[in-house]
Amino acid sequence: MDMEQNSRLSEFPEQFSLCLRVRAQLQDYVEGYLDLVTAETVRAHLAVCALCNREHAEILETIRLVRTLPFVSPRRDYAGPITAAIAARPHSPWRRWWPRARRPSL
């Protein structure tokens, strides 16, 4: 909570106390860890408090940004080396398949 928000909320002590309680529960709320009654209290508060609603939205947005990070590609395609490494293992069931499938054409 930044200083501007603090000063606005401190003008209304009851609201401030409720906001503090809700904000302490927001992470559990996002994870679905709250019981139904508490979750409903948080939901109702978020519907009427723009500051807490903004904090909730920022948590969700942070999670979304992590979840939707683009994939990074390895420097090469590892399918061939991985299959070859598996086939080369002493007890690989592929030992009887791999040489035929992968034998280089002469």
Where along the sequence are the contacts to another protein (CB under 8 A)? 5, 8, 27-28, 31, 33, 48-51, 53-54, 57-67, 69-75, 77-83, 85-87, 89, 93-94, 96-98, 101-102
Least distance (Å) between residue 63 CB and another protein: 6
Least distance (Å) between residue 105 CB and another protein: 16
Q: Which is nearer to another protein, 36 or 100 (CB)?
A: 100
Least distance (Å) between residue 78 CB and another protein: 6
Q: Which is nearer to another protein, 13 or 70 (CB)?
A: 70
Helix (H, G, I), strand (E, B) or coil at 27: helix
Say how far apart CA 82 and CA 85 lie, in whole Å.
Answer: 5
Say how far apart CA 61 and CA 66 lie, in whole Å.
Answer: 9
**CA proximity to 27, closest of 62, 51, 2, 3:** 62
> What angle is formed at CA 46 by the lines to CA 41 and CA 48, rounded to 5 degrees?
105
